[in-house]
């Protein structure tokens, strides 16, 4: 077991625990056999023997902590790092604020320790001097003397190039404001590790880049980015991309619906040679890109629609076999038939009988369908003639 400190004092600087995803607090455990990315566990997950993919509970491990002295016995390594961070944040000499940020030492202790070990320490002073001399010797031959430069090229006023480069500052070779200053915020915390699943790895890759068709759309619409804000421009692009996806999915849905319709036709008319011939003609028309016309040729030469398929239609279960046959021949959905039947029954009870003309006045549908329903109800004894 080793005492190491690989991260700063801020818990957010440390990767989360691989077991419970909580922020690591020292001391914590690092697997000595898993790598190259560190496999870190909090003490609770370590004591439970947490295992994940290649990591096993019997692997060698290291205890990660900075609770050990470095320069003086009364100062831990964690406090040394906290002191250096406080001096950088508050400024050298501002020992009151440094001590307030430290919280474990007063301002006299902070000043004395810093001056003794980081300013007046001969070891550190000689090391810094040597590093400075080495850096000066290295850059002596490569230093470029300063000289004023010519005025940078600028696009002609009110030209197409000047409009496309609105907000560009030639002297700084930079734009006044980026198109989206926070565009990379969603990417900065994405970390690729060996233990990522294939789906998670693919999702991380997908976040980092647009599909080719969306990128092409961005390139084509780039000139409109200066007209609206970044959020509105992104919505504009995404709406166009979603429209293309919708059209593609709609076409797939239409193809599937057409296939299901043809399958129902085959299952319904497989025993009918004339209907099979009609289905083959319909399929040939679809393959040729022609909208098929569904008709059935009777023995008398008249054209009529095929019987209605009642499979799955609401109200079918309430019909007997003879009523189902009527609805198929008349091509009337069960729900409508039951409504018309009840209306005719009520009128027949009210008047003590019913004539065909009264039935036609009561239900406003095709007169031939009304006659077939009227004759059927008379034949079955549901109603009687007036």
The CATH number of domain 13-65 is 3.30.60 = yes
Count CB-CB contacts under 10 A for residue 111: 16
Question: Which class in CATH covers the domain with range 316-380?
Answer: mainly alpha
Q: Read off the pLDDT of residues 299-344 as tens digits, 9 standing for 90 and up.
A: 444 556 678 888 888 888 888 988 988 888 888 888 889 988 998 9
Burial of 66 (C-beta count, 10 Å sphere; 0-12/13-18/19+):
buried
Task: Look at residue 22 in the predicted model and tell me its pLDDT.
Answer: 85
| Domain 316-380 in the same topology as domain 70-141 | yes
Q: What is the pTM assigned to this prediction? A: 0.29
Task: Look at residue 96 in the predicted model and tell me its pLDDT.
Answer: 92
Q: Read off the pLDDT of residues 58-92 as tens digits, 9 standing for 90 and up.
A: 898 888 877 778 788 888 888 888 898 999 988 88
d(CA 185, CA 180): 10
- Strand pairing class (61-64; 296-297): unpaired
- Strand pairing class (28-31; 303-304): unpaired
Give percent of the chain above pLDDT 90: 5
Task: Look at residue 330 in the predicted model and tell me its pLDDT.
Answer: 87
CATH architecture of 70-141: Orthogonal Bundle (1.10)
Flag whether pLDDT at 5 surpasses 50: no
Flag whether pLDDT at 11 surpasses 60: no
Q: 385 has which bridge partners?
A: 354
Domain ranges of the chain: 13-65, 70-141, 180-295, 316-380
d(CA 26, CA 36): 21
**Is the model more confident about 168 or about 83?**
83
**Is the model more confident about 28 or about 257?**
28
Task: Look at residue 2 in the predicted model and tell me its pLDDT.
Answer: 43
User: Nearest 10 degrees: CA dihedral of 33, 37, 43, 45?
Assistant: -90
Three-state secondary-structure class, residue 44: helix
Q: What is the mean pLDDT of residues 251-267?
A: 70
């Amino acid at each position: 077991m080793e005492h190491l400190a690989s991260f700063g004092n801020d818990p957010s600087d440390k990767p989360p625990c691989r077991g419970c995803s909580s922020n690591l607090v020292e001391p914590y455990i690092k697997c000595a056999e898993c790598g190259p990315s560190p496999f870190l566990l909090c003490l609770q997950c370590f004591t439970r023997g947490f295992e994940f993919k290649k990591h096993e509970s019997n692997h060698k491990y290291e205890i990660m902590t900075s609770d050990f002295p470095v320069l003086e016995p009364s100062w831990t390594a964690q406090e040394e790092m906290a002191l250096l961070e406080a001096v950088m944040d508050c400024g050298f000499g501002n020992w009151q604020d440094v001590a307030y940020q430290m919280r474990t030492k007063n301002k006299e202790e902070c000043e004395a320790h810093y001056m003794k070990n980081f300013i007046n320490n001969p070891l550190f002073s000689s090391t810094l001097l040597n590093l400075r001399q080495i850096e000066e010797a290295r850059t002596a031959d490569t230093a470029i003397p300063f000289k004023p430069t010519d005025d940078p090229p600028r696009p002609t006023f009110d030209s197409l190039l000047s409009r496309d480069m609105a907000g560009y500052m030639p002297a700084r070779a930079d734009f006044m404001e980026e198109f989206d200053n926070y565009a990379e915020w969603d990417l900065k915390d994405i970390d690729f590790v060996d233990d990522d699943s294939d789906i998670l790895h693919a999702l991380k890759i997908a976040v980092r880049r647009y599909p080719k068709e969306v990128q092409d759309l961005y390139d084509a619409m780039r000139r409109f980015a200066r007209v609206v804000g970044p959020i509105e421009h992104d919505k504009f692009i995404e709406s166009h991309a979603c429209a293309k996806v919708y059209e593609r999915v709609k076409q797939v849905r239409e193809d599937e619906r057409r296939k299901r319709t043809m399958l129902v036709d085959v299952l319904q008319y497989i025993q009918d040679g004339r209907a099979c011939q009609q289905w083959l003609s319909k399929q040939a028309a679809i393959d040729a890109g022609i909208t098929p016309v569904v008709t059935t040729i009777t023995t008398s030469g008249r054209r009529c629609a095929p019987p209605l398929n009642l499979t799955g239609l609401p109200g079918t279960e309430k019909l007997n076999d003879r009523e189902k046959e009527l609805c198929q021949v008349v091509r009337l959905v069960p729900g409508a038939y039951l409504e018309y039947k009840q209306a005719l029954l009520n009128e027949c009870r009210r008047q003590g009988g019913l004539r065909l003309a009264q039935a036609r006045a009561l239900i406003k549908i095709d007169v031939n369908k009304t006659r077939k329903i009227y004759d059927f109800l008379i034949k079955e004894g549901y109603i009687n003639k007036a």
